[in-house]
């Protein structure tokens, strides 16, 4: 991502909140250095001056004091020079364009992190929720013992991903934590396998908002723990899978550690958000996941 500073076209880098935050943080470091270092050097020069007064024969006394003041002046001026140079460079130079806009973009990004604003209006949101006329925020559906809520939620969320070009997240700050509603309507359009499953369960009304936010729904392991805590049935044979089962899987190289989670849709098809490819492809997709199968959870409550 950082290499984009030198390679991307004008305007593209500045739209990347991560790079804007980096440049903004760099600017703050410059501001900090500009104030603190000169103060330290001046204090040191003052101490040296008093030492020289007490001991006039101290070698290099005035010279070192002079160097400290010169150093303080240089350190104080360097950030100003950088700001001026980057400010006057033509906007065709990407770094200078981003440097000027970084503080504004970074501040907007920080506000977005604390003040969630859904990119969907209420009419669009009704298209996402299953049975929206009967759905009330924080209230699960009446019938949770079958797979309907899970599959309905998976279909709705995955179609939203496809239609709006969501992608597999690049960094943790693109995901929302302990706010499943914000995750489901993430303005960054970023998700992962576990986040997708969590949103499907929320949209399908299988778990309430408060129940989802109790667990780290961005983690396959945490979701597996949640299913166990809520009394779901553990399926240990791949051949026993039924539509609506949520499957816990190992990594691409096998093994026993939990690396992935996806929803079985029946007849060898899956709802999956394991990569940007699977997020944006037709869903459910066909595939054999038997080689990575660890266990599955079935809602039989």
Predicted TM-score (pTM) of this structure: 0.56
Query: Using 50, 70 and 90 to split pLDDT, how confident is the model at 71?
Result: confident
Could you give the percent of the chain with pLDDT greater than 70? Answer: 68
Asked if 156 and 164 touch (Cβ cutoff 8 Å), the reply is: no
Highest-confidence segment of 31-40, 73-82, 109-118, 283-292: 283-292
Helix (H, G, I), strand (E, B) or coil at 281: coil
Helix (H, G, I), strand (E, B) or coil at 75: helix
| pLDDT reading at 37 higher than 60 | yes
User: CA distances (Å), 100 to each of 18, 53, 91, 123, in order?
Assistant: 15, 47, 10, 38
Which strand (E) or helix (H) includes residue 99? helix 94-114
Asked if 202 and 153 touch (Cβ cutoff 8 Å), the reply is: yes
Q: Stretch 82-89: mean pLDDT, rounded?
A: 64
pLDDT, residue 69, reads: 81
The model's pLDDT over 73-83, given as tens digits with 9 standing for 90+, comes to 887 777 677 66
* Nearest Cα to Cα of residue 67 among 103, 41, 102: 41
Quote the CA–CA distance of 112 and 110 in Å, as a whole number.
5
| pLDDT reading at 90 higher than 60 | no
Quote the CA–CA distance of 237 and 2 in Å, as a whole number.
45
Q: Stretch 101-120: mean pLDDT, rounded?
A: 49
| pLDDT reading at 41 higher than 70 | yes
Query: Using 50, 70 and 90 to split pLDDT, how confident is the model at 89?
Result: low
Q: Stretch 134-144: mean pLDDT, rounded?
A: 42
Q: Which range, of 67-71, 106-110, 118-122, 270-274, averages the lowest pLDDT?
A: 118-122
CATH of domain 122-298: 3.90.1720.10
Q: Stretch 274-299: mean pLDDT, rounded?
A: 91
Quote the CA–CA distance of 56 and 60 in Å, as a whole number.
10
* Nearest Cα to Cα of residue 151 among 204, 87, 106: 204
* Nearest Cα to Cα of residue 283 among 267, 269, 262: 269
Query: Using 50, 70 and 90 to split pLDDT, how confident is the model at 141?
Result: very low
Q: Stretch 241-255: mean pLDDT, rounded?
A: 90
Asked if 89 and 96 touch (Cβ cutoff 8 Å), the reply is: yes
């Amino acid at each position: 991502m950082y290499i984009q500073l030198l390679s991307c076209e004008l305007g593209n880098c500045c739209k990347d909140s991560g790079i804007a935050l980096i440049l903004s943080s760099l600017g703050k470091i410059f501001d900090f250095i500009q104030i603190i270092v000169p103060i330290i050097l001046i204090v040191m020069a003052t101490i040296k001056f008093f030492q020289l007064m007490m001991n006039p024969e101290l070698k290099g006394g005035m010279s070192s004091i002079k160097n400290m003041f010169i150093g303080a002046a240089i350190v104080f001026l360097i950030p100003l020079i950088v700001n001026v140079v980057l400010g006057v460079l033509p906007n065709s130079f990407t770094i200078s364009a981003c440097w000027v806009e970084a503080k504004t973009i970074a501040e907007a990004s920080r506000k977005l992190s604390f003040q969630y604003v859904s990119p969907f209006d209420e009419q669009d949101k009704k298209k996402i929720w299953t049975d929206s006329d009967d759905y009330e925020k924080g209230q699960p559906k009446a019938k949770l013992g079958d797979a309907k809520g899970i599959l309905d939620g998976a279909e709705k969320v995955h179609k939203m991903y496809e239609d709006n070009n969501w992608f597999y997240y690049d960094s943790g700050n693109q995901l929302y934590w302990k706010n499943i509603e914000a995750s489901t309507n993430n303005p960054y359009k970023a998700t992962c396998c576990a986040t997708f499953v969590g949103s499907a369960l929320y949209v399908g009304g299988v778990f309430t908002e408060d129940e989802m936010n109790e667990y780290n729904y961005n983690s396959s392991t945490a979701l597996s723990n949640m299913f166990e805590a809520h009394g779901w049935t553990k399926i240990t044979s791949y051949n026993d899978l039924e539509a609506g089962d949520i499957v816990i899987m190992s990594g691409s190289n096998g093994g026993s550690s939990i690396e992935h989670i996806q929803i079985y849709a029946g007849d060898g098809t899956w709802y999956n958000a394991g990569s940007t490819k699977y997020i944006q492809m037709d869903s459910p997709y066909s595939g054999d996941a038997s080689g990575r199968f660890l266990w599955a959870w079935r809602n039989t409550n």
